[in-house]
A and B are shown apart, each in its own frame.
Chain A
Amino acid sequence: MSAVRTPREVLLNRVAVVAVFVALFIMLAPIYWIASTSFKPRNLATTVPPTILFEPTVAPYVKTFVKRSQLRGPVEEEVYEAAPWWEQLVLDGGEKVVRSPSGEVKPSGYGQRFMNSLIVAVVSTIFAVSMGTLTAYGFSRFKVAGKDDWLFFILSTRMLPPVVVAIPMFLMYRVVGLNDTHLGLIILYTAFNLSFSVWIMKGFIDEIPREYEEAALVDGYTRMQAFFKIVLPEAMTGIAATAVFCFITAWNEYAFALIMTNRNAQTAPPFIPSQIGSGLPDWTVIAASTVLFLIPVAIFTFLLRNHLLRGMSFGAIRK
C-alpha cells in the first residue's frame, strides 16, 4: 500500500508515531523498573536518585524461594566456605537460610503459591471457556425462549464490582467449607469469567457460517460431531482470545484471593505483598517474585499471539 498522502497527512503520521513511542515508554517503564530492581543488591534498591548502572545479582531470586532469618553476628569463615553459592548470596545480605533439624532448606512458600495460582487459573480458564463456548453455541444456533433476556441476564452479572459480593460469598463459603480451597477459587473465577466468555464466544460463533455445519449434517454427521469437527476448529481464534482474557483475569485476581484463602490455596497475588510484613521491606525480593509472576501470562500470550491478532478484530474480517 502506498496511497497518495498530502503533506498534512505525512505530518499527522509523524505525530502519531511519536505518540506511539511515548505510550510505549510509559507502558514499559514500570516493567523495566521491576525487572531492574529484581536484579539489584538490596542496598541499591531504594536509592534516590535511582541507580541505573549496577552489578546484577540473582540473590533476590534465591531469597524468593527460601525461608530466611536475620543474622545476629558475622558468619564464621568455614561455615561461609562450606555453603553452596546460592546460600552465600543470602549470607552476604546479612541473612541466613532457615533449615529443618535434619538440615533441609525450608521453602519460603512462594513456590507453592505459584503452583496454586497456576492450578486455579488454568482450571478456571478451561471451565469458563468450555462452558462459555457451549452456551454461546446454543444461543447462536438454536431458538431459545427468551434468548435476549437470558443474554442480558448473563451480561448483567458483570454490572457490579465483584468485591461487592465478597462478604456474602465468604460467609457462604465458610458454611460449605470452601474457604481456602482450590475448588472454591476455581468456582469463583469460573463464575466471573463465564459471562464474558459467553458473550465473546457468541460473537465468534455467530460469524461462522451455518453452511459449514449443515454440510456436515447432510454428509452424515450428528450435530455433536459437527460441533467438534467443524465448529470448534473454526472457533479456535475466538477460543484462544477468550482463554487469554480469562486466564489473565484469574491470574491477576487479588481481592477474593486475599479474603478467601490464607495458606493451603493462597495464590501468588496476596502472597507477594505479604512478604513486606516482617522487618524492613526487601523490595528486591518483591520485585523478583513479581517478575516470575509475570512470566506465565507472557508465555501464554506469546504462544497464542497469532490467534490473538486475528481475534482482536472480533471476527469482523475473517475469511
Chain B
Amino acid sequence: MAEIALRDVQKFFGPNQVIKDMNLVIEDGEFIVMLGQSGCGKTTTLRAIAGLETVTEGTITIDGEEVQDRRAADRDIAFVFQSFSLYPHMTVYENIAFPLRAVGMSTEERDREVREVAEVLRITPLLDRRPSALSGGDMQRVAIGRALVRRPKALLMDEPIGALDAKLREEMRAEIKRLHMARNSTSVYVTHDQIEAMSLADRIVIMHDGVLQQIGAPDEVYLRPANLFVAQFVGSPVMNVEPVQLSANGDGAHVHLAGDGTGFHFDEGLLSAVPRDAGRVSLGIRPEAVHLSHEESAGALGGVTTNIEPLGSHDIVDVRIGEARLRARTPAGFVAAEGAPVWVSLDTGEAHFFDNETGLALREAH
C-alpha cells in the first residue's frame, strides 16, 4: 500500500498538451475516481502513474520515492485495462498466475495465491477456462484478480467495467467496492460514469481538457462545485446556469434573469461573495431546487412551460421566464401540457453564483 503524489506534471504528445500542471496527492488506502469527458487526459494520467507513458515534466512519487524515470516493471503497480485485458492463449488460472511468475515464486505458493484471489472474486469454477469462454463481467473479474494477486502498492483501473451493460455494471460496482473494503488498496479508478464515481470514490478528481478542476468527496463536488465546468458536469439533469443582474432589494437583492423585470429575492447572507456589477455573474441552480406551482405565491415569478420530459418517477419541465429558460424537476404529471402558465420559485439556499469570466464559483472561503 502506498501514497502516490503527482507534482506539476505536464504531458505533451507532440505539440498537444494533454496534462497541464497536474498536482494530486493520493493517500494510502484511498479510493480515488478520476471523472471527466472523453479525451480529457484520464487514461494518460493513469498510464503516467503506471509508467506506460513518460511525463514531459514534473515528478511522480510513490511512498516518497521519485519514480517518473523508472520502468513500469519496477514501480510495483497493477493496471486493469478497459478491454483486451486477458491473454487469449492462457487459461484463467495462467492469466492470474502470470504476474507471479515474473517474481519467481515457488509453485505451491503461487498456486495458493491464485486460488485465494479466485476465491475472493468468486471465480474458482472458471479457473480452467479460456478467456474467450467467459462473459464480459467474468473477464473483468479475472482481470482484477490478476491485478490484485501480486499485492501491488496501488491498483489502477481504466474504465474496467465501462464496456459492460448497465445491470452488470451495477453488480460489478458493488463487487469492486466490497473488494476495496476488504483489501483497502490504494486505488485510482477512471470512469466517465458519474454514478460509478459517486458510489465508489473516497474522493473524486474532476478533469477537463487536461486540467484538474476539483478534488473532493462525492457530496462536496456535488454540493459545492468549484467552477462552472464541475457544476454542469456533475449531476443529472444538468444544473441550470443563467446570466443574471443584481439589484438591491431591502436586506438583500433581486436576482434578475434576462428579460425578467421582477427578479427572485435573495437574502444578503447568500450574496456576500457576489459582486453587484452588471454582467459579471451567472446563477447556477439545480432543477431539484426549482419549484413550480399552479398558484401564485409571494416571490414567485410567472413563466410558461415549453417542454415536458417524462422520466417515470418524475418529469423534467422546461419553463420560459422572460428570455431565460429554467429546467425544473416536478412530480410525474404535475404539468399536464406545454404552454401552461406556472409560478416559479427557487430554493435560494441551493443556488450557486459563478464569475462569468473565470467560471469560478463565488462563495465565501471557509
Q: Using a CB–CB distance below 8 Å, which chain A residues touch chain B?
A: 209, 211-212, 214-222, 225, 230, 233-234, 236, 319
Q: Which of A212, A220, A230 has the most CB atoms of chain B within a 10 A radius of its CB?
A: A220
Q: How many A-B residue pairs have CB under 8 A?
A: 58
A221:B73 contact, CB within 8 angstroms: yes
Q: A216-B98, A219-B99, A220-B73 are in contact. Are A234 and B79 (CB under 8 A)?
A: no
A218:B78 contact, CB within 8 angstroms: yes
For the complex of A and B, the 9 pairs showing the least CB-CB separation, nearest first, are A220-B102, A219-B99, A209-B84, A211-B84, A217-B72, A211-B81, A233-B89, A218-B79, A220-B73
A218:B73 contact, CB within 8 angstroms: yes
The answer to whether the Cβ of B77 comes within 8 Å of any Cβ in the partner chain is yes
A212:B84 contact, CB within 8 angstroms: yes
Q: Please, which residues of chain A bring their CB within 8 A of the CB of B146?
A: 215, 219
Task: Kindly report which residue of chain A lies nearest to residue B50, judged by CB atoms.
Answer: A218
Report Cα–Cα, A225/B50, bound state, in Å.
18
B67-108 contacts to A, CB under 8 A, are 71-73, 75-79, 81, 83-85, 87-89, 98-99, 102-103
Q: Please, which residues of chain B bring their CB within 8 A of the CB of A236?
A: 89
Q: A209-B84, A211-B83, A212-B87 are in contact. Are A219 and B52 (CB under 8 A)?
A: no
The answer to whether the Cβ of B145 comes within 8 Å of any Cβ in the partner chain is no
Report Cα–Cα, A225/B89, bound state, in Å.
16
Report Cα–Cα, A225/B71, bound state, in Å.
14
Report Cα–Cα, A236/B89, bound state, in Å.
10
Q: Using a CB–CB distance below 8 Å, which chain B residues touch chain A?
A: 50-52, 71-73, 75-79, 81, 83-85, 87-89, 98-99, 102-103, 132, 146, 150
Choice from A218, A225, A234, A319 contacting B72 with Cβ under 8 Å: A218
Q: Please, which residues of chain B bring their CB within 8 A of the CB of A217?
A: 51-52, 71-73
Q: Chain A contact residues: over half helix, strand or loop, or mixed?
A: helix
Report Cα–Cα, A319/B88, bound state, in Å.
9
Report Cα–Cα, A216/B103, bound state, in Å.
12
Report Cα–Cα, A236/B88, bound state, in Å.
12
Q: Please, which residues of chain A bring their CB within 8 A of the CB of B132?
A: 319
Choice from B71, B81, B89, B103 contacting A215 with Cβ under 8 Å: B81
Task: Kindly report which residue of chain B lies nearest to residue A220, judged by CB atoms.
Answer: B102
A218:B89 contact, CB within 8 angstroms: no
A234:B84 contact, CB within 8 angstroms: no
Task: Kindly report which residue of chain B lies nearest to residue A226, judged by CB atoms.
Answer: B73
**Min CB distance, B156 to chain A, in Å?**
8
Report Cα–Cα, A233/B88, bound state, in Å.
9
Q: A234-B88, A234-B89 are in contact. Are A215 and B79 (CB under 8 A)?
A: yes
**Min CB distance, A214 to chain B, in Å?**
5
Report Cα–Cα, A319/B134, bound state, in Å.
13
Q: Please, which residues of chain B bring their CB within 8 A of the CB of A216?
A: 98
Choice from A218, A222, A233, A319 contacting B51 with Cβ under 8 Å: A218
Q: Please, which residues of chain A bring their CB within 8 A of the CB of B79?
A: 214-215, 218
Choice from A209, A218, A233 contacting B52 with Cβ under 8 Å: A218
Q: Please, which residues of chain A bring their CB within 8 A of the CB of B85?
A: 211, 215
**Min CB distance, A228 to chain B, in Å?**
13
A219:B81 contact, CB within 8 angstroms: no
Report Cα–Cα, A214/B82, bound state, in Å.
13
- A–B pairs, 18, beta carbons within 8 Å: A209-B83, A211-B85, A212-B87, A214-B79, A214-B81, A215-B146, A217-B52, A217-B72, A217-B73, A218-B77, A219-B98, A219-B102, A220-B76, A220-B150, A222-B73, A225-B102, A234-B88, A236-B89
Task: Kindly report which residue of chain A lies nearest to residue B52, judged by CB atoms.
Answer: A214
Choice from A214, A219, A319 contacting B150 with Cβ under 8 Å: A219
Report Cα–Cα, A7/B51, bound state, in Å.
61
Task: Kindly report which residue of chain B lies nearest to residue A230, judged by CB atoms.
Answer: B87
Q: Which of B75, B81, B83 has the most CB atoms of chain A within a 10 A radius of its CB?
A: B81
**Min CB distance, B157 to chain A, in Å?**
12
Task: Kindly report which residue of chain B lies nearest to residue A229, judged by CB atoms.
Answer: B98
Q: Please, which residues of chain A bring their CB within 8 A of the CB of B103?
A: 220
Report Cα–Cα, A209/B132, bound state, in Å.
15
Report Cα–Cα, A221/B72, bound state, in Å.
9
Q: Please, which residues of chain A bring their CB within 8 A of the CB of B71?
A: 217, 222
Task: Kindly report which residue of chain B lies nearest to residue A222, judged by CB atoms.
Answer: B73
**Min CB distance, A122 to chain B, in Å?**
25
Q: Please, which residues of chain B bring their CB within 8 A of the CB of A319?
A: 132
Q: Please, which residues of chain A bring their CB within 8 A of the CB of B75?
A: 218
Task: Kindly report which residue of chain A lies nearest to residue B90, judged by CB atoms.
Answer: A233
Task: Kindly report which residue of chain A lies nearest to residue B88, judged by CB atoms.
Answer: A234
Task: Kindly report which residue of chain B lies nearest to residue A232, judged by CB atoms.
Answer: B89
Q: Please, which residues of chain B bring their CB within 8 A of the CB of A233?
A: 87, 89
Q: Please, which residues of chain A bring their CB within 8 A of the CB of B76?
A: 220
Report Cα–Cα, A222/B101, bound state, in Å.
13
Q: Please, which residues of chain A bring their CB within 8 A of the CB of B99?
A: 219-220
Report Cα–Cα, A222/B103, bound state, in Å.
12
Q: Please, which residues of chain B bring their CB within 8 A of the CB of A234?
A: 87-89
Report Cα–Cα, A59/B75, bound state, in Å.
71
Report Cα–Cα, A221/B89, bound state, in Å.
17
A221:B84 contact, CB within 8 angstroms: no
Report Cα–Cα, A209/B86, bound state, in Å.
11
**Min CB distance, B16 to chain A, in Å?**
15
**Min CB distance, A12 to chain B, in Å?**
35
